[in-house]
Structure 1
Amino acid sequence: MGVTSAWAISAHDDAFIAHLAPRLLPLIEAAAADPSARGRWRRWQENPLPDHRTWRRAHGGGGPEADAVHSFHELTSVGEHLADLYGGAPGEEGFWLVEDVWERAEDPERMFLSIHTKEYAVSALFHAIGPRRAALLPGWCGNFLLSSAEVQEALPRVERALTFTPGERAVAERRIWLDHRPGERGEESLLDGPLRQLRQAAEAGLGVCGVAVHIY
């Protein structure tokens, strides 16, 4: 059985962001400080991966490219520090991501949510936009907790990361390897949803919580 993962960005007022901070920030900071993860990040920044359609051949033949693909997946899939957050923060019974975060968003019906089986949304987005743009996004590999002031500060960088010319957009869409095209089945595109959510939060004077987790 393959894993099912989710990446969500929800908007909240500053009081609630402060309430979440002791639970989530240590996990995000631990993930960002992990020496192995930092090494994988540097490797990807210095040597971006080729088109994903070559990866099957790389896996079959081994070698440096296969190692680079594996390193990228290890970097951008749900890491051990936040893997179990969906079912409760480590050491804290009674904290559930759906009820205690997502359902308490200012507008739960419009929060960004991308769910996939045997795939990871952050991996697909990062490969699509490349390391230079990915470095502009807040937090660590899709995980962040920002107050309203921090949203305002981060938004120009997110705008630069996720704003495309028509040609750049076409290239990015081709590099998303998920098993459906962006926007199919009513799902919001990875190239649109995160920026849309941060823009709305900034306009409303809200903070945001971004988490990438395993559902099961």
Structure 2
Amino acid sequence: MGFTSAWGISSHPDTVIARHAPRLLPAMAADRAAHGSRERWEAWQRAPLPDHRAWYGHPTRRDAIDAFRALTAPGRHVDELCAGITDPYFYVVDHLWDGQDLDGIFVSVHSKEYAVSSLFHSIGPARAALLPGWCGNFLLTAAETRHALADVEAALTFTSPERTAAEEQDWLDYTAGEESVLDGPLRVWRAAVRNGHGVCGVALHIG
């Protein structure tokens, strides 16, 4: 069965962050606390997956690969909230993404793939652990965004060989001119800090 997913990071004044915090923060916390989430995260931290091009040659790792995909797929609570299922008055495209200028948003949309899964596998568990929030979902004030910048830069800044290795493990297909998951998040983060804004990251199914 096919699906389309999106992962977006957007920059907002603290007034917008505060307006959406009562809806988004409980959903994010519920996904983080969901049954099996912590166990999957700790298993991946202990045993990173091999080169994705060899996954089908590692039948003994199938359970680990499936657990990683479940870990990095959109969490149910954020997914249903942002798609307008649990709250018909909140739809992420209208409330967070619509009207954003290019400096303040990064959105990665893919068919039958998850952007967070590809990013996390590409950078590995040590770098992924530096990113705030839970598996691509976060809602931070301007002060929190500024405080987290050093960790986000450490996670998403690469030497030339590191960049090549990360690109080889990013399995997403990009159209001409489309921004990679290795670039967009840090760009928006830096722009948010320059502008004195907070950031919101959400992953969801859109079809």
Q: Is the contact between residue 23 and residue 89 of structure 1 (CA under 8 Å) also seen in structure 2?
A: no
Is 1:7 equivalent to 2:7 in the alignment?
yes
Corresponding residue number in structure 1 for 2:154: 160
* Aligned-pair CA distance for 1:84: 2.2
Q: Is the contact between residue 103 and residue 191 of structure 2 (CA under 8 Å) also seen in structure 1?
A: no
Q: Is the contact between residue 85 and residue 213 of structure 1 (CA under 8 Å) also seen in structure 2?
A: no
Corresponding residue number in structure 2 for 1:215: 206
| Aligned-partner Cα distance in 1 for 2:189–2:85 | 24
Corresponding residue number in structure 2 for 1:145: 139
Corresponding residue number in structure 2 for 1:131: 125
Corresponding residue number in structure 2 for 1:191: 182
Map Cα deviations across residues 55-111 of structure 1 (whole Å, 9 max, x no partner).
Answer: 1223xx4x3x01110010000011212222342162x22222111111254x35751
Q: Is the contact between residue 8 and residue 212 of structure 1 (CA under 8 Å) also seen in structure 2?
A: yes
Moved over 3 A (4+): none
Map Cα deviations across residues 139-165 of structure 1 (whole Å, 9 max, x no partner).
Answer: 000000000000001100000000000
Partner of 2:107, secondary structure, is strand
Is 1:97 equivalent to 2:92 in the alignment?
yes
| Aligned-partner Cα distance in 2 for 1:117–1:52 | 18
Q: Is the contact between residue 86 and residue 215 of structure 1 (CA under 8 Å) also seen in structure 2?
A: no
Choose 171-180 or 117-126, whichever is displaced more.
171-180
Partner of 2:5, secondary structure, is strand
Structure 2, unaligned stretches of length 5 or more?
Answer: none
Is 1:201 equivalent to 2:201 in the alignment?
no
Is 1:84 equivalent to 2:75 in the alignment?
no
Percent of paired sites with the same residue: 55
* Aligned-pair CA distance for 1:177: 1.2
Is 1:118 equivalent to 2:112 in the alignment?
yes
Instruction: Give the counterpart letter for 2:141 in structure 1.
Output: S
| Aligned-partner Cα distance in 2 for 1:84–1:186 | 30
For normalisation by structure 2, the TM-score amounts to: 0.95
Instruction: Give the counterpart letter for 2:161 in structure 1.
Output: G
For normalisation by structure 1, the TM-score amounts to: 0.91
Structure 1, unaligned stretches of length 5 or more?
Answer: none
Corresponding residue number in structure 1 for 2:28: 28
Instruction: Give the counterpart letter for 2:80 in structure 1.
Output: D
Change (3 A) 1:206 1:114: same
Instruction: Give the counterpart letter for 1:37 in structure 2.
Output: S
Corresponding residue number in structure 1 for 2:39: 39
Instruction: Give the counterpart letter for 1:102 in structure 2.
Output: W
Corresponding residue number in structure 1 for 2:55: 55
Instruction: Give the counterpart letter for 2:190 in structure 1.
Output: R
* Aligned-pair CA distance for 1:175: 0.5
| Aligned-partner Cα distance in 2 for 1:133–1:109 | 24
